[in-house]
Structures are given as C-alpha cells and as structure tokens.
A = this chain, B = another copy of it.
C-alpha cells in the first residue's frame, strides 16, 4: 500500500549573525565547487545568474567569514571557489539534511491510513 498522505518540509540553518543556509544556497555552493564558476553553477541549476549572484552576496555579507570567493577577470574571465568555511557549512547542512529526509519518510509511514 502506498501512503495516501506524505509529509514534506524545508530545512535551513541560521547563524547568530542572521545568515541563512538552506537547500537552494547549498546546491548553489556545491555546483560552484564542482564547476569553479558562478555563472556555470547558476546555469546548471536553471537559476538566473542575477539571482545566484544576489544569493552569494547576501551569504558573504551575513557571514563573519565568507563562504566563497569570487574573482572577476583573469584566465578564462574569472572564477569562483569555496572557502574552507564554505565547504564546512555545506558538509554540516548535508549531514542534517540526510537525517531530515529520513525523518520525513518515517513520519509519512506513521500517518494514519
């Protein structure tokens, strides 16, 4: 029997400085790490470059230590890289998110018929 009703949710981590790290931002950071470019990362996520740039701007503004470094110009036009703080933040979120997925599945099973 497939479950009639399903439990869904969204998860994010808030820092003392008001920073917010949720699903969208983490995916963006991961793509940046993988592709080395903000514009490529935005494209891979079907997200507008305009908005992706706004996200990283707010991330870096709100965090004590920046999560990533953007470089305009240079070889290939520019590039983007995660800082150690950025990599750590992504890892922490992923750990929490994995347990969250499990939680949602468990709760869906617990729902009445």
Contact = CB atoms under 8 A, between A and B. Distances in A.
- Looking at chain A's contact residues, is the secondary structure mostly helix, strand, loop, or mixed? mixed
A5 B15 contact: yes
Contacts of A112: 88, 92
A92 B100 CA distance: 19
B16 A12 contact: no
Interface size bracket, A side = 20 to 34
20 contacts: A4-B15, A4-B16, A5-B13, A5-B15, A5-B16, A5-B92, A6-B13, A6-B14, A7-B11, A7-B96, A8-B11, A8-B12, A8-B13, A9-B9, A9-B10, A9-B12, A10-B10, A96-B110, A99-B107, A100-B103
